[in-house]
Amino acid sequence: MQLNEMEMKKVLDQGMLTRSIIENDTARKKCQMYTELAKDPAVKGFFKEQSKALDDVVGYFKKGMIELQ
Protein backbone atom coordinates (compact mmCIF):
# COMPACT_ATOMS: atom_id res chain seq x y z
CA MET A 1 0.00 0.00 0.00
CA GLN A 2 1.40 3.34 -1.03
CA LEU A 3 0.43 6.57 0.72
CA ASN A 4 0.72 9.97 -0.83
CA GLU A 5 2.47 12.79 1.04
CA MET A 6 -0.71 14.31 2.49
CA GLU A 7 -1.92 10.97 3.84
CA MET A 8 1.52 10.27 5.32
CA LYS A 9 1.56 13.71 7.00
CA LYS A 10 -1.92 13.10 8.42
CA VAL A 11 -0.87 9.73 9.88
CA LEU A 12 2.28 11.24 11.41
CA ASP A 13 0.32 14.20 12.82
CA GLN A 14 -2.24 11.86 14.38
CA GLY A 15 0.57 9.85 15.97
CA MET A 16 2.20 12.98 17.35
CA LEU A 17 -1.10 14.26 18.74
CA THR A 18 -1.95 10.89 20.27
CA ARG A 19 1.41 10.77 22.01
CA SER A 20 1.02 14.35 23.24
CA ILE A 21 -2.47 13.60 24.58
CA ILE A 22 -1.22 10.53 26.46
CA GLU A 23 1.81 12.32 27.92
CA ASN A 24 -0.14 15.39 29.02
CA ASP A 25 -3.02 13.36 30.41
CA THR A 26 -0.53 11.33 32.46
CA ALA A 27 1.07 14.52 33.79
CA ARG A 28 -2.41 15.88 34.61
CA LYS A 29 -3.28 12.76 36.58
CA LYS A 30 0.01 13.02 38.48
CA CYS A 31 -0.79 16.62 39.39
CA GLN A 32 -4.21 15.53 40.65
CA MET A 33 -2.57 12.84 42.76
CA TYR A 34 -0.03 15.32 44.16
CA THR A 35 -2.90 17.69 44.97
CA GLU A 36 -4.55 14.96 47.03
CA LEU A 37 -1.30 14.04 48.78
CA ALA A 38 -0.12 17.57 49.55
CA LYS A 39 -0.50 18.91 53.06
CA ASP A 40 0.62 22.49 52.40
CA PRO A 41 -2.19 24.66 50.92
CA ALA A 42 0.27 26.48 48.63
CA VAL A 43 1.54 23.21 47.20
CA LYS A 44 -2.00 21.92 46.86
CA GLY A 45 -3.01 25.08 44.99
CA PHE A 46 0.01 24.90 42.71
CA PHE A 47 -0.72 21.35 41.60
CA LYS A 48 -4.41 22.10 41.21
CA GLU A 49 -3.56 24.99 38.86
CA GLN A 50 -1.14 22.80 36.93
CA SER A 51 -3.77 20.09 36.59
CA LYS A 52 -6.27 22.59 35.19
CA ALA A 53 -3.69 23.96 32.75
CA LEU A 54 -2.83 20.46 31.54
CA ASP A 55 -6.53 19.72 31.15
CA ASP A 56 -6.74 22.70 28.80
CA VAL A 57 -3.70 21.43 26.86
CA VAL A 58 -5.25 17.97 26.47
CA GLY A 59 -8.45 19.62 25.22
CA TYR A 60 -6.45 21.60 22.67
CA PHE A 61 -4.73 18.47 21.38
CA LYS A 62 -8.04 16.60 21.19
CA LYS A 63 -9.49 19.48 19.17
CA GLY A 64 -6.52 19.18 16.80
CA MET A 65 -7.14 15.47 16.48
CA ILE A 66 -10.79 16.08 15.54
CA GLU A 67 -9.72 18.62 12.92
CA LEU A 68 -7.39 16.06 11.34
CA GLN A 69 -10.17 13.54 10.93
Q: Is 63 a domain residue? A: yes
pLDDT, one tens digit per residue, over 23-57 is: 999 999 999 999 999 999 999 999 999 999 999 99
pTM for the complete prediction?
0.83
Q: Is 33 a domain residue? A: yes
Q: Is 67 a domain residue? A: yes
- For the chain, how many structural domains are there in total? 1
Query: Vertex 9, ends 69 and 53: CA angle to 5°?
Result: 65
Query: Vertex 46, ends 36 and 60: CA angle to 5°?
Result: 95
Q: Is 4 a domain residue? A: no
Q: Is 15 a domain residue? A: no
- pLDDT at position 54 is 96
Q: Using alpha carbons, list the distances in angstroms from residue 30 to 1, 35, 60.
A: 41, 9, 19
> 46: domain range?
26-69
Q: Is 61 a domain residue? A: yes
Gap between the Cα atoms of 55 and 21, Å rounded: 10
CB contact at 8 A, 14 and 26: no
Q: Is 13 a domain residue? A: no
pLDDT band of 68, cuts 50, 70, 90: confident
